[in-house]
Structure 1
């Protein structure tokens, strides 16, 4: 059963300008394992985090590092969730979070579905 859906779109050039104006944003928004990626990949990860917030329905007690975007052995994206984010998902009863990301034509998009077993 789906308990939350979120989508977000990021303009990569605008995101890059924000990072140039405020270099510490990278440390604030991204866990150490996410840093050092190309700007388009960082923009997609930022979109993923924003989409997750929308899927949950709030961001109370969320921290950016509590929703690290990781890849599995087949390079499929997902989240390593901790802290307030994990607690909010547990409160929703969500036991799975699906993530899809892409970047093309100067934009990055992410789509998140949170679901729980129907039983």
Structure 2
């Protein structure tokens, strides 16, 4: 069952200017691995983190560096959550996160769907 949907759009040149103006943002927003990426990829990951917060219904218990966007062998983007953010997502009953990223024409976008298993469909649930 879908419990949340989030979408975000980032203007890449504006994002790059913000990072250039305030370099400390990199350490506050991105993991060490993400900081090594090209600006358009970082902008897409920023959008993904914003979209995740929207899908969760708010930022309580969510920390930027507890969210890392990686990729499966196929290239499909995935979330790797840790710390309090992983705990928060689990406590909200979310069992799957779906992520789509794109960047083109100076814009980066991300779309997130958060799912949970309805109590009636969970293993061992009473009918």
The TM-score normalised by the length of structure 2 is 0.89
Answer whether contact 1:3 1:92 (CA < 8 A) is retained.
no
Give the RMSD, CA atoms, in angstroms: 1.0
Number of equivalent positions:
119
Give distance in 2, aligned partners of 1:41 and 1:15. Answer: 11
Greater than 4 Å deviation, 4+ residue runs? none
Q: Secondary structure, in 3 states, of the residue corresponding to 1:33? A: helix
CA displacement at 1:87 relative to structure 2: 2.1
- Larger Rg belongs to: 2
Match of 2:110 in 1: 110
Q: Secondary structure, in 3 states, of the residue corresponding to 1:34? A: helix
Runs of 5+ consecutive residues of structure 1 not aligned to the other structure: none
The TM-score normalised by the length of structure 1 is 0.95
Runs of 5+ consecutive residues of structure 2 not aligned to the other structure: 122-127
Match of 2:100 in 1: 100
